[in-house]
Amino acid sequence: MSFLAPWFLLGAAAIAGPIIFHLIRRATRDRIQFSSTEFLRASPPRLQKKSKLQHLWLLLLRCLILALLTFGFSRPFFKQDIPVFPIDSEMKHTVLLLDESASMKRSGKWQAAKTQLINWVEENETDRQISVLGISDRIFPILSQELWLKTAPSERIALLKTVLQNREPNWGPTHMDTGLHAALDELEQMVETTGEKASKVIRIFSDFTNGARLSGLAGRDWPEDCIVEFEPTQQGETRNVGIQWLGWSKIGSGPRKARFSLITTGGNQTVTLKATDAVIGAEIASSKMVYSRVGDKRLYLFEIPDKQSNPFNISIEGDFEPFDNTYHVAPENLREANLVYLGSETVENPKGALFYIERAVNGWEDPKMSVISGDWGNNTTDLLVISQNLEAYEVEKAKKYLSQGGTALLLLKDGKQLGLIETLTGETGWQSPSLSKEYGLLGTIDFNHILFKIFANPRYNNFTNIRFWQPKAIEPPSETNSKILARFDEGPPAIVESTVGTGRLIIWGGDWTPQASQWVLSSKYVPWLQQLMETALGGPAQPTMGFVNEPERIAGNEAVVWKTLNGTISSPTAPKNPGLYKISHETHSQWVALNMPADESRIDPLSWDTWEKLGVPITESQLIVPQELAEEKAAAKNAIELEGEQKLWKWLLVTAALFLGIESLVSLSISRKGAVTAEA
């Protein structure tokens, strides 16, 4: 016999209570005085050496009642094996998800997953309509339901083996949530196609690592008749050290530093870190031997010489899992840009706009700015700032610059510059109406425009604390190629963008000095100027490093040619493997690095409680746990089912109640006999 709640057996100690009470002799309740005893000397009562149990049968009855109650509450049952009956042959719509992410490139994982999938289909294909999808950061159809139904049952396994034969995992991340959403859509499509009512099953073949993304499953509504099943690959090595890139750092005139951290799973390890020139193979920094701990977030630095222009690799030696031991690094795409200022002020004069422009751009790493004032000359111009009327030759040069796609900012300080605006835009009728107040505030702002979009968030779009002491309103003509970007609080335009040829002219109503406004002293001044500079350069610099599953982040929308490190292979198609490549644009070429997403290095097993917390419909038998714990859970479940079937506790409690009634009758009988004897 076993017990479901054995701790209730401790209640058997209560049996000592009736025994103690029966050992205690009860004193006579009523004392009767006799006259003949009044003159006798009082003597203390004699105590017997041994206490005698009174009413032995009543004591046994009471002990038996307590024992029955104790056994009843401890939920006893007799052990036996519960047979497992086969499930009925109900039709099942089944979607099989095969993990094709980078973590499956570990030794033996991919082949094991394919073998497990084929074996499972062989054993369970009866009464099932099956669709197979590959999952990574996107969905890859492998075997459709339509092809499954068209294929003869005797040939389906051969078909499955054929479509899986040449498939390989890619280097993308594990977006498990995307895969499950796609599986649910596929199940709905199955129901619509067949019109049959059937249970829905999703079975996942994966290594189920902590790097898998599940966040998209939060709050998901699941069909009532849907169940998710797991098929983990064989347990392998979980000790691993991977690299997470954190970017570059450079302080002052010192060398650049490559910043990265290590992702350690499964156990602490001692590894060696190296930085090697990818072209010539020489080490470019001193190697480091480090002891990497699980959960360690230490920052590691490699000092990279300023003369290093070739791409390089950061590698790990001594790791148990080599699939992620190399991280490819391409040189930064640092741009140089010229800002030409046409005005009468000097850079040392704090009462001029040039003083604040030069200090705003000083220290920018990308683009690295050069401010040119006075003579325009033949310098390359990326951004033109105009704060005064121009000479005739400068006007012609500015018009040509704008018509060829340049960007210019004109600070309107007085009405005399309206003629310059008309000349540059080729439009007549520009005006500068006066404002009634002593100062102006920006009222309406177009936060959808590229120059103000960075302030669109409600936390940053408050411009009401910036006062313009000398505001100059700008009124374009009725027929114009201009667009109003911002208005003063009284209504007239404050900032206007005018299209000139393929270029743009930004007209700002006022000067950029503290005497004219609080703009150059505000926190929004430098970000806005940087956004203007980025717009003039055609947008942010193209990144040189990215993930192998997102090559478009590097190439953009341009047509480029990808060339391997050794230059032997050139193709307009983006590569599918991590590595260093040179991409060629129409005007230039640059090194780029493609790497595996860092989360794929987190190969420690995913906690199975996570699925339950996200509300994924799974059966208890699908919780993948260690063997000992699985046996304990199975035994516990078996015990609950047996106890529920046998229900011995009910009979024990009924018997206890019956004996309790008998005990009450016996106690009543004994008490009455005692009362009669006392009266006699």
pLDDT tens digit string along 21-30? Answer: 777 755 454 5
Report the pLDDT value the prediction gives residue 56, as an integer from 0 to 100: 75
Packing angle, helices 109-124 and 156-165, rounded to 10: 170
Q: Token pair 């092809």 is at which residue? A: 147
Q: How far is CA 587 from CA 338, 500, 583, in A?
A: 19, 24, 11
Report the pLDDT value the prediction gives residue 46, as an integer from 0 to 100: 60
Out of 57-71, 444-458, 496-510, least confident range = 57-71
Q: What is the CA radius of gyration of the chain?
A: 42
- Three-state DSSP class for 3? strand
Confidence of residue 341 (pLDDT cuts 50, 70, 90): very high
End-to-end alpha carbon distance in the chain:
53
Out of 185-194, 207-216, 420-429, least confident range = 185-194
Confidence of residue 192 (pLDDT cuts 50, 70, 90): confident
pLDDT tens digit string along 84-127? Answer: 444 444 678 999 999 999 999 998 899 999 999 999 999 988 87
> Is cis: bond before 76, omega within 30 of 0?
no
Query: Which of 43-47, 225-229, 645-649 is modeled with the greatest confidence?
Result: 225-229
**Is the pLDDT at 372 greater than 80, yes or no?**
yes
- pTM for this model (two decimals): 0.68
Mean pLDDT of the chain: 86
How many Å apart are CA 680 and CA 670, to the nearest integer? 16
How many Å apart are CA 84 and CA 89, to the nearest integer? 15
pLDDT tens digit string along 147-173? Answer: 999 999 999 999 999 999 999 999 999
Out of 37-41, 241-245, 441-445, 547-551, least confident range = 37-41
Question: Residue 225: which of 657, 619, 631, 534 has the closest Cα?
Answer: 619
- What tokens appear for 613 in the block? 């917390």
Provide DSSP, 648-670: HHHHHHHHHHHHHHHHHHHHHHH
Q: How far is CA 620 from CA 137, 181, 234, 361, 625, in A?
A: 29, 22, 20, 62, 11
Question: Residue 330: which of 595, 574, 566 has the closest Cα?
Answer: 595
**Is the pLDDT at 50 greater than 80, yes or no?**
no
Report the pLDDT value the prediction gives residue 87, as an integer from 0 to 100: 43
